[in-house]
Structure 1
Amino acid sequence: MKTRLILTACASALLLGLPAAAPAWAKAPAVATAAAQGGVEVPPLGFHKRVLANGMEVYTARDASTSNVTVQVWYRVGSKDDPAGRSGFAHLFEHLLFKATRNMPSETFDRLTEDVGGMNNAFTADDVTAYYEVVPANHLQRILFAEADRMGSLVVDQPTFESERDVVKEEYRQRILASPYGRLFGLFAPETIYQDHPYRRPGIGSIEELDAATLDDVLRFHATYYRPDNAMLIVAGNFDQAQLDGWIDQYFAPLKRPAAPMPANDVKEPEPSGPRTATFHAPNVPLPAVVLAWNTVAYRDADRAALTVLDGILSTGESSRLYRSLVYDKQIAVSIGSNPDFAQQAGNLTAYAIMANGQSPETGQAALEAEIARLRDAPVTAAELAEAKNELVADALRGRESIDDRATTLGMALIMTGDATAADREIAEIQAVTAADVQRVARRYLTPQRQITINYLPADDENPASEQTKNVDAPVTVAALAPAGPIAVLLPEAERARLPEPGAEVSPATPAIADFRLANGMRVLVAPTDGLPLVSARLNFDAGSAHDPAGKPGTAAMTAALLTQGTATKSAPEIATAIEQLGANVGAGSGADFTNVYANAPKDVFGRALTLMADLVRHPAFAQEELERQQSQTLDGLRVALSQPGSIASQSVGRVIYGDAPYAAPGGGTLTSIPALTREDVAAFHAARYRPSRATLVFSGAVTPAEARQLAQAAFGDWREPAAPAPAAIDKAGQALAPRVVVIDQPGAGQAAVVAAIRGISRTDADYFPLTLGNTLLGGGFSSRLNQEIRIKRGLSYGARSSVGALQQTGVFSASTQTKNESATEVADLILAEIAKLGTTQATEAELAPRRATLIGGFGRSLETVDGLGGLVANLALYDLPMSDLAAYAGRVRAVTPEQVEAAFARHLPTDRASLVIVGDASKFIDDLRAKYPSVEVILLTELNLDSATLK
């Protein structure tokens, strides 16, 4: 799914409703020169540089271990360069660059990438717009041709411009208006933190300024910034260097460097003159929030390393100071975080708290200020300092697993510093930070006199919703942009430059899987790889939410969550500290059918990470105080989730399809079931379901079968099977129910979520591959039918998708999107019509061939990371499928015929069995919907009962 998103510190968070961590390059520089954590080295990036005569910089790195190649073009233009009165313009323009060129019709990039098993995407940040593709290596020449063509000629007509602008408006509604904290982090925080710098404008802009943009603005923006001397080309993967150099010279060297200079844009943000406070109100805010912010330094500044380490100590992981204080000890916040946002020209550090139910922003402010004062008043401990550094080194290692990870790491360092070698110095700089350095930067920057306080509260009759600041001045003006020049048009087909033909295919390789059992019955699978020194393990149990005791949804999820919250010998803080000192990722989560406990760590410390994971699994304490703490956090998380249309819909669909059957209830529990859970409930669930004879342990990465056997035996070999018999199998899906049309009315919702759902298949069904291939055509990518109809043709959504949803027993197929409330009925009709077509009209071989490539390409990319490979192996084991299916995957996909796809959709997914769930402001669409579905059920959100099969 093409996101076309704006990369800000909270981009992911806006989808989830809670703030997320900083982008990878701000939170944890993912680079180093042979810097070591213990005995593990983070290898240098190793790119070769040359500069074309037209000024374009080229960076290349060959990697013959992959069957893929990534091509990335980074332009030195971002949202800070949006002209005055045109906020959001660089991002809007990014969308348009996926349209036509002189030689390529609109959407050709999707044909060249998705349709051959690759992917493409782009992002806009404050200082950069970057476009990137990952494709099978034999398609490299075609991508180089395409990237050069869109740099040299952009074709956009008025209808295309207006349609894509509508898409961006839907993105704005989804990320800013429909998300409870979208306004806070997307609008109000930047406009408050910066006083003069254009970083204060939101990268996504505003509806009004998007509407003010014109087609002429687009053409002039392209002429101004999309030029070879303002671009960097990065290529990494499996290629012949001489051949690549020749292609680059053929396609990029002829592009002309314009004579006109680019507009000057180097605003100096003034030093703070004193503390500032702002309060904002917004609709649909389930829990209040507070943000503290300080202006700090730009990316190049020598103090960045110390501020990065400070940030790690402050908020990374459950052993961090903010989590321990506000979430764990005081229990006044449901979510905390900090973000050191280092940009080209200025920077800031923010610390935030989403308050727990009943807590005020003032309480959060006092607690945050106390932790910041601790950083100023005393040096951090040696243990804290070492832990932060270990986490950064481990993250650097993970940030180099795939070719596109490595290229992105280089690209960001280049944009921020202009120096390719900077990426290979950063971890050494991190390692050199001392406790005195951390205290020094805290005293220099994080002072009360420099502090900016932002309170975020629900709007009400006395406090109406705060308005976004618009018409903000900017150093770049529309008048300063270059003239548009001759308007490019799509040439007649006979006159277009021919796309190069693909080269010889490079097939992805799958490792041989070792398969054995320990004496206690635990199955062990090993998928070894050659590459970075990382190892992953995942331990799976038949312990999913479908196994929750009747009337107690959330038991499996709560049991998994409590594993890291204390064992017989370690407290929750001690466990968090142990994990983070290793630079490991260790945790657990549950799905409908299974619980997965996982560990990922550098090879030199992996044994210790696995020992810790085994302790969590085998000796959980389930302390009453930890249960109560988790219950409180879970309830606050549910309150946030139930403020978002998409989340409300996804939690309601199960009841509509399954009624009272085990698959029906929300896996995370409900507002009534979570408080009712007892320690005895989770302890009994663990005792019954967590047993070695029903467990599968999967190793992947830098580990041999012999090493894995030794590790597994040491960690789990003496684990004995419980005396009680294993629980009997249950009917999880129940009987098929009559379809329903349900509207959950959320007055004032920023968007409507629309879901069509049909009772589907199990993972082992013979029609799994035909349905999976057909679903990829329907809603499995940017060029899928749903996305074409809803986003590309009509601009009604930021994206539409569908999922087969196969489970151990009968799963639920779903197709979904979010749209403006007024369009909900129209979008529901479009979704159902596209589903119906696949069961009544045979797809052509020409349509299915690229969708096969999409599946096979995604499979190949999963093989590039240790967690991706481990997940593929584990999924085969979970559904009792043979390990030979790993190597057979591509062949199974290629064997599916158009006839099989049509038959499978007709048999399993007729739309007369479809249910609709729509969540939004019903006043704006209910009349149209009721005209089509007179029996529609309308449920006020305040009356929604997720514990009931009827939702009432």
Structure 2
Amino acid sequence: MIPARPILAFALALALALPLASLPAAAEAPALPKGVVAGPSMEGISEYTLANGLRVLLFPDPTKPTVTVNLTYGVGSVHENYGQTGMAHLLEHLLFKGTPTHDDISGEMKKRGISFNATTSLDRTNYFASFPANDDTLAWVLGMEADRMVNSRVARTDLDSEMTVVRNELEAGENNPVGVLMQRLRSTAFLWHNYGHSTIGARSDVEGLRIEQLQAFYREWYRPDNATLVIAGRIDPAQALAKAQAAFGRVPKPKTPLPTFATIEPAQDGEREVTVRRAGDLNLVGAAYHVPARTHADNAALAVLANVLGYTPGGRLHRALVETRIAAASGASAEGLANAGLFTALALQPRNGDAAKMEQVLLQQVEQLAKEPVTAEEVAQAQQRIANAYDLYFTDVNAVGMGLTEYVAAGDWRLLLTSRDAVAKVTADDVNRVAAQYLRSSNRTLARFVPTDAPDRVEVPAAPAAASVVAGYTGRAAVDAGEHFEPTPANIEARTERFTLGEGLKVALLPKRTRGGTVVVDAGFRFGDVASLTGRDDAAGLAGAMLMRGSRELTRVQIDQKMEALQAQGGVSGGLQGANLSVLTRRDKLPEALSLLAGLLRGPVFPDDEFEQLRLQAITGLEASRKEPGAIAGQAMSLHFDPWPAGHPLHVETLDESLAAVRALKRDELVAFHRDFYGTAQGEIAIVGDFDAAAVRTQLESLFAGWKSPHAYAPIATRYTDVAPIHERLPAPDKPNAVFMARHNVALRVTDADYPALVVANRVFGGGALKSRLGDRIRQKEGLSYGVASAINADDSLEGKDDAGSFSIQAIAAPQNIDKVEAAVREELAKLVADGITADELRDAVSGLLTEREQARADDGSVAGMLQDQLFFGRTMQFTADLDAKYKALTLDQVNAAIRRNLDPAKLSVVAAGDFAAAAKAAPAPAPAQ
């Protein structure tokens, strides 16, 4: 299979939180264990409270064979005292270090195939696990969580290693210009409230924290009456509640009450300003305004206002800043927290942009809405987008189980539902009122100090208690749950219909009833060969990126509005040798969604203004990568391993060559590439979910089977190349986090006998930062890196001849620790090749891998991707079942022999990028000789 050519990295997405929106009706109430009290129950979610104060939320869904357990504690960075910032986040890390009963939590989870992690935020910390529905696994997870609630070691030895890991995580965040700017903006906006503190904490606090402080913090906040347990997915409510009671009921409720805090951020008394001067190639401007907590009635109108301003492509900021090419990207968001938070607007541009103009236009759009008030049509469009997000969100019970964390942290899980309903009631008058009330210069942190005789102060009103907002609330009707379908390879194969339309369009259809009537389409259309594509590769990526930016019938904004009206997520795109179509929508919207996307593939017009926007974004992304350690090391490694001559479509370009190519590219070249290559008669389409198979077949033939590419598809053959090892240290000035990469090539195909063995070997060696040999040594034991992992990549092709595989390792660390990281990597790899893995490691790796593969088949999007891939290679789900069987049958001798045949420490190329000069200056001088 042809590997993806490195295309221009210009994704500059801003993480702007949307509120979410409709749920299922409550299941029949289970019998209550002794001491358990039933609480509110609506839209499929039921609340219970144990005698010790633990709240349990049950959200059953029999249609997906997975379970999510999410335990949220009401403690975050807002609860930390002076000199102890970062403590909540550091404690989250230490709770994976184990208890006397559960000595290796991450190892036990990995062995069981449980997907797990934890996060810390301003108001809360949560621990979550997702796994195929299994009573024993559920009982184990609940028992483990109850155990570490009160029995975690929180030991000095663990703190010593994990403190440097967290410090490395902090350093990684310091590399991100947007993240640094937003943290400085927040710390300037809040004078007294702890919302001004970064969750990861101050470096000095993290480094100087005493274990006694952390132990006291743990005992104070980790308790059942400060926790909410969510169990969602394929569960029997009565059994799940009984398991929760059995696990947590024995944990005593503390006799002391939870601490309370009285700090309220005072009204801001004038503009504030903060300037960050650091290495980088972006100009950024952000403006933040104090706004009420989630439970306040104005929160819904502020959420709509953020969507009106910040949405791409139809939002006001996008139109004023991006379409005019003043900025490369923009956005806005409104926080909904337990206490008063921030409304934020952000824009960015290349270093040589007009930063003053960008700031001026941003502030005009945000603070002068009275001159051009928000219209009822804009409000309706924003409400539609937010409602669609809620609507699709509620079709995934496991996602809801996770998302409830934020609403629990804000005061009550039912705020998820009341927030949704409140957004639907917002009017244009509401939006314009909150804009005038909160988005004032005197309430802004950008910010400047300007003396004035008549200060204009915004008093953020107190928000009511969550109980008063949700009192009497009953919720909406449940979403249709769909059918019970076991996603085994045999069941998937039995339900799937495969056929070919025309001369070469292969189709796989898997119809079934799904929650909310959702359906997933995953399609790839193929064209071109090495001869016809030579010299055309620079236009390929941008041509594909322009497909959603305007057609003969619709503008970019109209395309976006049409997708929202169809409750559809996805789109069309293209690359060097193909075009892709993917969409998630509903049964009744599928025909129109397919017609829309087919029209976008056939009829793009490549508008001049959109082309210039895209070019600016591409240039901005490339320039921004110039001083990023990951990009520097990654490009050096790619160039070293590039076997292709200049001019070949797969040849790797330098950063300067890529920039020159983008700057020289003309719109007409994109038009010509589409004309000369695009077609849909050859490719693969997979559809999984709720749809009419007969009607879809007819529509697919009409839309796609007859459009032939002028250049038929022929795969570009790839091959193993023996590459001499290199060892390089590359400078990345003023970057406190360095990146380590290592690689050597392997002659390996997916169909080779050694492939399953190497996948398992890699899982043991570096298949997880928390639990693997590299993770145990470099993160858990020595505390050198927040993230370290290895990967084995195998080639694939129609003829089964391509064998361009590779083995790679990557880690992040402080520059002064990179040599230690490399030494540890080399020692562990040499040990792996010399001694192999153990029988216990083989058993646990295979068990976890098979469970993860089982869970992947429970996701319709994953199944659609499998089916499309199988269509291309002429396979069926039997290939998947056979691969499962090969994993299950692996012996220790087979795995260790495959390791010795394929992995060679002497061939390893190593590249690292970071501020090594600054690290050397900061290193202590050697002691004088005695």
CA distance in 1, matches of 2:703, 2:676: 20
Q: 1:596 and 2:580 equivalent?
A: yes
Q: What's the offset of the Cα at 1:279?
A: 2.0
Q: Given the superposition, is the C-alpha separation of residues 905 and 167 from structure 1 closer, same or farther in structure 2, using an over 3 Å criterion?
A: same
Hey, what's the Cα distance between the residues in 2 that align with 1:545 and 1:202?
51
Matches of 2:531 and 2:121 in 1, distance apart?
44
Q: Distance in 2 between matches of 1:583 and 1:547?
A: 41
Paired residue for 1:56? 54
Distance of aligned partners of 1:678 and 1:16 in 2 relative to their CA distance in 1, 3 Å threshold: closer
- Compute the displacement of 1:821 (Å): 0.6
1:780-824 deviations in whole A, cap 9, x for unaligned?
222122211211111111111122233444143321011111121
Work out which of the residue numbers 863, 878, 892 in structure 2 matches 1:884: 878
1:293 to 279, 288, 293: 288
Amino acid corresponding to residue 547 of structure 2 in structure 1? L
The corresponding residue for 1:111 is 107
Structure 1: which 5+ runs fail to align?
1-14, 35-42, 456-505, 928-952
- Normalised by the length of structure 1, the TM-score is 0.83
The question of whether the paired residues in 2 share the 8 Å contact of 1:280 and 1:454 is answered with no
Matches within 5 A, 1:605-754: 605-660=589-644, 662-665=649-652, 670-717=658-705, 719-722=706-709, 724-726=710-712, 728-733=714-719, 735-754=721-740
1:524 aligned to 498, 504, 507, which one?
507
Q: CA deviation at 1:75?
A: 0.7
Superposed, 1:801-880 pairs within 5 Å as 801-808=789-796, 809=802, 810-880=804-874
- Counterpart of 1:179 (choices 155, 176, 181) is 176
Q: Does 1:540 align with 2:524?
A: yes
Separation of aligned partners in 1, 2:819 and 2:11: 25
Tell me how large the CA RMSD over aligned residues is: 3.0
Kept after mapping to 2: 8 A contact 1:64/1:237? yes
Aligned pairs for 1:495-510 (under 5 A) are none
- What is the Cα deviation at residue 550 of structure 1? 4.8
Of 291, 312, 315 in structure 2, the residue corresponding to residue 317 of structure 1 is 312
Matched position secondary structure for 1:280: coil
1:188 and 1:753 map into 2 onto residues whose CA distance is 25
Q: CA deviation at 1:98?
A: 1.2
- Provide the secondary structure at the position in 1 that maps to 2:744: strand
Distance 1:600 1:516, change over 3 A: same
Q: Which amino acid aligns with 2:611?
A: L
CA contact (8 A) 2:487 2:858 kept: no
Alignment check: 8 A CA contact 1:17 1:179 kept: no
**Inter-partner Cα distance in structure 2 for 1:387 and 1:692:** 33
Asked if 1:270 is matched to 2:266, the reply is yes
**Aligned counterpart for 2:190 among listed residues 194, 198, 202:** 194
Matched AA of 1:587: G
| Counterpart pick for 1:558 among 515, 533, 542 | 542
Deviation at 1:592, TM superposition (A): 8.0
Query: Does residue 391 of the first structure (1) align with residue 391 of the second (2)?
Result: no
In 1, Cα distance between equivalents of 2:242 and 2:90: 33
Identity of counterpart residues, as a percentage? Answer: 28
Q: Using the alignment, how far apart are the partners of 1:824 and 1:149 within structure 2? A: 36
Equivalent pair of 1:543/1:556 in contact (CA under 8 Å): no
Rounded to whole Å, the distance in 2 between the matches of 1:75 and 1:325 is 42
| 8 A Cα contact 1:79 1:91, kept in partner | yes
Output the amino acid matched with 1:534: T
Which of 315, 322, 337 does residue 327 from structure 1 map onto? 322
How many angstroms does 1:726 deviate by? Answer: 1.6
Note if contact 1:391-1:580 (Cα within 8 Å) is conserved in structure 2.
yes
Alpha-carbon distance change, 651 to 454 in structure 1, aligned in 2, over 3 angstroms: farther
For residue 188 of structure 2, what is the amino acid of its counterpart?
T
Change (3 A) 1:547 1:261: farther
Tell me what 1:91 maps to. 89
> CA separation in 1, counterparts of 2:704 and 2:346?
40
| Counterpart Cα distance in 2 of 1:115 and 1:209 | 35
Matches of 1:636 and 1:443, distance apart in 2: 34
In 2 relative to 1, CA 568–245 (structure 1 residues): closer, same or farther, beyond 3 Å? Answer: closer
The question of whether the paired residues in 2 share the 8 Å contact of 1:113 and 1:134 is answered with no
CA distance in 2, matches of 1:652, 1:398: 42
CA displacement at 1:883 relative to structure 2:
3.9
Counterparts of 1:852 and 1:581, CA distance in 2 = 45
In 2, Cα distance between equivalents of 1:850 and 1:547: 48
Cα deviation, 1:652-679, whole Å, max 9, x if unaligned, reads 3221112435545169982222223334
Distance (whole Å) between structure 2 residues aligned to residue 563 and residue 754 of structure 1 = 36
The equivalent residue for 1:120 is: 116
**Are 1:101 and 2:95 matched, yes or no?**
no
Q: Structure 2 vs 1, CA of residues 314 and 162 (structure 1 numbering), >3 Å: closer, same or farther?
A: same
Q: For the residues of structure 1 that align with 2:745 and 2:814, how far apart are their CA atoms?
A: 27
SS where residue 281 of structure 1 aligns?
coil
1:75 is matched by which residue type in structure 2?
A: Y
- TM-score, normalization: structure 2? 0.85
1: CA distance between counterparts of 2:718 and 2:592? 37
- Aligned partner of 1:338 in structure 2 is 332
> For residue 677 of structure 1, what is the amino acid of its counterpart?
L
Partner AA of 1:144 in structure 2: L
Q: Secondary structure at the match of 1:355?
A: strand
Shift of 1:400: 3.4
In the TM superposition, residue 147 of structure 1 has moved relative to its aligned partner by 0.7
The equivalent residue for 1:930 is none
Please name the residue that 1:479 is paired with. none
Q: What is the match of residue 567 of structure 1?
A: 551
1:593–1:807 CA contact under 8 A, matched in 2: no
Please name the residue that 1:768 is paired with: 755
Note the C-alpha offset of 1:140. Answer: 0.8
The one of 565, 577, 580 aligned to 2:561: 577
Match of 1:452 among 420, 445, 457: 445
Q: Structure 1 residues 790 and 438 mapped into 2: Cα distance closer, same or farther (>3 Å)? A: same
Query: 1:489: which partner in 2?
Result: none
Name whichever of 821-830 and 587-596 sits farther off: 587-596
Deviation at 1:338, TM superposition (A): 1.2
Aligned length: 843
Report the Cα distance in structure 1 between the residues aligned to 2:244 and 2:265, rounded to whole angstroms: 39
Q: Which moved more, 1:567-576 or 1:152-161?
A: 567-576
SS across alignment from 2:844: helix
1:693–1:608 distance in 2 versus 1, CA, 3 Å? closer
Give the whole-Å Cα distance in 1 for the aligned partners of 2:792 and 2:674: 30
Q: What secondary structure does 2:546 align onto?
A: helix
Contact 1:549–1:555 (8 Å) recurs in 2: no
Aligned letter for 2:693?
P
Q: Cα offset for 1:290?
A: 0.4
Per the TM alignment, residue 101 of structure 1 is displaced from its structure 2 partner at its CA by: 1.5
Q: Greater CA deviation, 141-150 or 837-846? A: 837-846
Q: CA deviation at 1:199?
A: 0.3
Distance 1:399 1:20 in 2: 20
2:110·2:848 contact (CA, 8 Å) conserved in 1? yes
Aligned partner letter, 1:184: L
Opposite residue 701 of structure 1, the aligned amino acid is: G
1:12: which partner in 2?
A: none
Distance in 2 (CA, whole Å) between partners of 1:342 and 1:889 is 46
Give the match's secondary structure for 2:620.
helix
Once the two structures are superposed, the pairs formed by residues 234-273 of structure 1 within 5 Å of their partners are 234-273=230-269
Relative to structure 1, is the Cα distance of residues 533 and 856 closer, same or farther in structure 2, using a 3 angstrom cutoff? same
SS at match of 1:670: helix
Q: Residues 509-561 of structure 1: CA distance to partner in whole angstroms, max 9, x if unpaired?
A: 75332222222532222233422322222221346999995566543321211
Q: What per-residue deviation string (whole Å, max 9, x for no partner) do you get for residues 223-258 of structure 1?
A: 111111111111122333333333322221121111
Q: 2:80 aligns with which of 53, 69, 82?
A: 82
User: Relative to structure 1, is the Cα distance of residues 314 and 228 closer, same or farther in structure 2, using a 3 angstrom cutoff?
Assistant: same
Q: Do the aligned partners of residues 398 and 703 (structure 1) sit closer, same or farther apart at CA in structure 2, a change above 3 Å counting?
A: same
Deviation at 1:382, TM superposition (A): 4.2
